[in-house]
Chain A
């Protein structure tokens, strides 16, 4: 959250929404991943499956990860198989700003997401400079990157490339599945190494008369071992992932005095992965290789018109095409395609100087077709027309006193089924073309306050929200044939929670941050056949997450040493159930990290070090998937 004018970063483009913005040093720590950053945001719970290169997902306010769209440079990363976005695929090193919309996504999102939305925005080129850096860390972590930036007020561009790799051969406590008769021993994670190349090309242009344009091109290629559960180590299965992403936007004023503007956004993404399992170690795969690929292209147009100083209206429409192909050794291919139309209307009205009202209405229409497999033959299936689902939000922002705002939102959102859910992904997971969208109705109320002390230098920000959501038509998998599962709209849930975030900058040398979430996530499915267990606490949802930072820093202008800092972080996640019956309790987590950084010659040379998991806590977010213990990370970057 460092780097903002106020200690706690907010997102101004959705003023009534509980939203957190992170930038600057918050995104620059040694060994820092996208999952690390998000785990410090109130309302967000991150689930990791291993090291930084292994799959990690984020849920917001108890929503499943597939109900949270995640965007990189404005392009949605969620795939059409699981519906989730893998945070490990987000290269944080060139990210300038992260915006987390808790519970309510902004109008710009192409999915308004039951759980909100997460945006990763890459660095915008501004100056002419060259730079590069190297990084080292535990478990064979190493990386190196270079970038070149060419900029003027009218146009700027940036190209950057990074190569990173790690062995990820960390040790963990292996209980050999014998929890009653403990025979624990230290084991080393096998086949967990990865190597990745990612490249960026970013441009921006001032086109005159207030018009401007920008473009982003990002390529990620990764090769890594597939680890699976630690109890049954996988030694030879490997996966390769490739993702090419393009985003372009143009903003054109359409009236004098900037009362009207037209926004055009184009995005395209092509992503694919291939898992090779020559020794058939991955039972769930049931094949020697699996290849899935998807593409999506979308175009969005939005017209914003300021009718009066008190009222502005906007109308937008997003059209998208996407497809998914899943091919598996010895099996017929599966897949599908989707055509989406998302018209939206939004209004911002300020009837009183202290009151702002925000309204958003959108319709989601998804027309899909897919290829399933039945009795050994491929069959074509499709949606019956274009089922329309409305998404609505009404938000209020009321200024109670200077720098003290009361915020509230009531909303209804939907999550359209993925193509994988509709048409199946394997012989073991059939689709269900009759699947309906998941729906959620939510309400939140919050306070946001920033206080400045003497001379306007020390400051304290507090952000507190209470929220409630009722989710219906939730998808759960049930056995549908002798060998396969299928998804059905069978479950309901109710979620209540409180989020608190506070940050203080004191005495020009002390920074304190704390964020925490209390969550009560309950299953409310009434059918005893579907939900037979009396326990109604949803699995994998911690009732409390807490992240704190205490940092000492100094800034010495004009000297060899610029900013220097030493910080101590503490992260806590309460214990949580791993199963619907509430029999398996994943232990609470406590992590303490130490981080330090120093800038020399202004901002030109930066050295950052971190010691993560100082007390070598052995734990996991999911049964059987240990996360690393204590590790060190160091980066050295140079810009000139």
Chain B
């Protein structure tokens, strides 16, 4: 064998290696759906099951559990469920809709790619996808089905170079036809900021349907992420027009909402402005209860000082008189010490006070507790916890008096190991 042919041999052997062994294997985990009960569409307070979105902010996988947290499908769909091209199947920033979804499909909102994905619950097959970016990084936040051929998508970002595509202004509600799917219109939310100076945008975030109306949170922020008081905007889906705007005076960055079991009340979580000094007690953070009569109206307010002194994150009704909520932890100025853990707490709405001790507190990290979701009629709640054991779903039982006790925890997708962060319902 002549040394003259070494480069050729090297090339061939390395090419063989490439073909046989050097490529990495894609995610070959089998995705599975769930058997759906042959029952009518559920109410928000009694979902058939929950979606658990696990993410490390680089990729996402979705598991399905029953309302008590028992695992139904460890891998329903994920970033590895389709080949990577210019983009990935699901980015690391995917959330479920706030409301429970009826029918045999769930919708995933990929905020990074600005894409909605409709997935069949029984087959785990994707029926359709729709890009709702209209040519810019729209950052869609929520999806509210209105009818079989109409749904709303809230979009946070504004398009500074709009006019190149239809409906590309942003910071609005996009009207889509989910059956096609296609974009069919938009609702301008600028009137929700009437009377404010220029420069602020509606910055629509989470939304829910209740009592024939759609309720959405508009954070009212400018381009530099400085926020006015959050608005609760009521939209009439018959006319696609704003019916009412309720300004949550003094509260900022309200980003989560939950519907009471009877559907007559809305709880809104506000985490307050970014970058504020904790010594000031987060005066613009808290929980607001809004009655959903003919007109929506604020009926109760609990400021952060009454809720343990930290910024409020997610919330859910455990019962008509019991509200579970999470708070963000925080670190010391040099990030070397955990000054306050993330917590899960219970607010007794009858007493108007929180329980003395948190139900859950993280040990070493902040920003590890994610969504909390309850099924009041079943008396169960679940919490996503990204700290414990690398990420688990914690299960709770709700007693008839509204008190809550932990049942245990479950790793929803140990094969991939991504920690759970977000919870949806179907």
Contact = CB atoms under 8 A, between A and B. Distances in A.
Contacts of A580: 56, 58-59
Nearest to A530: B390
Contact of A504 (B7, B223, B224, B271): B7
A579 B86 contact: no
Interface stretch (A198-206, A437-445, A480-488): A480-488
A516 B24 contact: no
B88 A623 contact: yes
B36 interface: no
B127 to A, nearest CB: 8
A175 to B, nearest CB: 5
B141 to A, nearest CB: 14
A516 B14 contact: yes
A375 B79 contact: no
A508 interface: no
Interface string B73-90: 000001111111111110
Interface in B307-333: 311, 328, 330-331, 333
B158 interface: yes
Interface in B108-140: 110, 113-115, 117, 126, 128-131, 133, 135-139
A280 B158 contact: yes
Interface string A572-585: 10111111111111
A231 B113 contact: yes
**Contact residues of A: prevailing secondary structure:** loop
Contact of A488 (B17, B84, B88, B335): B335
A176 B115 contact: yes
A581 B160 contact: no
Interface in A82-122: none
B251 to A, nearest CB: 15
Interface string B12-52: 00110110011111110000000000000000000000000
A145 B176 CA distance: 54
Interface in A153-196: 172-181, 183-184
Contacts of B391: 532
Interface stretch (B273-281, B374-382, B402-410): B273-281
B417 A178 contact: no
Interface stretch (B145-153, B259-267, B297-305, B362-370): B362-370
Contact of A330 (B15, B23, B58, B224): B224
Interface stretch (A48-56, A412-420, A427-435): A427-435
B401 interface: no
Nearest to A542: B22
Contacts of B25: 582, 585
Given A280-B160, A574-B23, A579 B58 contact: yes
A624 B86 contact: yes
B334 interface: yes
A397 interface: no
A131 B17 CA distance: 46
Interface stretch (A282-290, A305-313, A608-616): A282-290
Q: Give the one of A280, A478, A506 with max B CB within 10 A.
A: A280
Nearest to B133: A232
B131 A585 contact: no
Nearest to A483: B274
A529 B364 contact: yes
A231 B22 contact: no
A178 B58 contact: no
A281 B161 contact: yes
Interface stretch (A208-216, A266-274, A543-551): A543-551
Contacts of B59: 578-581, 583-584
B119 to A, nearest CB: 8
Interface string A529-567: 100111101010011101010000000000000000000
A483 B133 CA distance: 23
B4 A620 contact: no
Nearest to A620: B86
A542 B23 CA distance: 8
A431 B334 CA distance: 8
Interface in B162-183: none
A329 interface: yes
A457 interface: no
A304 interface: no
A263 interface: no
Given A181-B126, A584-B79, A623 B390 contact: no
B85 A179 contact: yes
A579 to B, nearest CB: 4
A184 B15 CA distance: 30
B390 A432 contact: no
Q: Give the one of A180, A181, A286 with max B CB within 10 A.
A: A180
B80 A584 contact: yes
A233 interface: yes
Contacts of B366: 479-480
A236 interface: yes
Contacts of B92: 579
B229 interface: no
B6 interface: yes
A544 B85 CA distance: 20
20 contacts: A178-B130, A179-B84, A179-B85, A181-B126, A230-B86, A231-B133, A236-B160, A432-B334, A460-B3, A479-B366, A528-B390, A533-B56, A533-B418, A548-B7, A575-B23, A579-B58, A581-B61, A581-B416, A581-B418, A584-B80
Given A173-B86, A539-B58, 4 more contacts: A286-B224, A460-B6, A482-B275, A514-B11
